Amino acid sequence: MRLILASQSLARRALLEGAGVEFEAMSASVDEATIKESAKAEGVSAADTAILLADAKAARIARRHPDATVIGADQLLVCEGEWFDKPVDLTAARAHLHRLRNRAHELMTAVVVWRGGQRSWHHMATPRLVMRDFSEAFLDEYLAREGAHVTSSVGAYRLEGMGVQLMRDIRGEHSAILGLPLLPLLAYLRDTGVLHG
């Protein structure tokens, strides 16, 4: 069965590729800012908003490819009630990291699957991470070494890179932190015959 990942995220693609899953990746352009603003105005939780975003991405691709199983995923970072978006540049990334320093945050990581023209499954993971009280010198070095990579993540870090040195404590499935709760997704794909085994 044809499997499509409704994302161009390199981390999500690497997770599926590393698990030996055959799939296509397609970009799903949705107006994330409008979805988030509407959800906030209506009092929708961050977790439910992440599901809305993942669903919108999967639905967009599924409507164009109704024969396929389509995976959509999204992630929101929440720290002390504040929602974070991906930083637009290194200056914004520095501001993100100052706000997250020495604090706990959660990653609302949603995955949604569409089959046969409708949503057939979804899952929410909420990894919890605590940043250490890193020095300004370390932050300077970190941003210089990571460069534009920091703008690809809501937290301005990649755990598969130097970003792991920002952390004091990490709880939750590693793949969920990277943006795709892989174990529950693989179980669903096996249970529905998309994957063998």
Catalytic residues, which ones?
74
Distance CA 166, CA 187 (A): 32
- Residue among 191, 187, 167 nearest 177 (CA): 167
Q: Which residues of 58-89 are buried (b: 16+ CB within 10 A; e: fewer)?
A: bbbbbeeeeebbbbbbbbbbbbeeebbebbee
Distance CA 168, CA 131 (A): 5
Q: What is the DSSP string of 119-137?
A: EEEEEEE--EEEE----HH
- Residue among 64, 76, 3, 13 nearest 40 (CA): 76
Distance CA 13, CA 4 (A): 11
Burial status of residue 144 (CB atoms within 10 A of its CB: 0-12, 13-18, 19 or more):
exposed
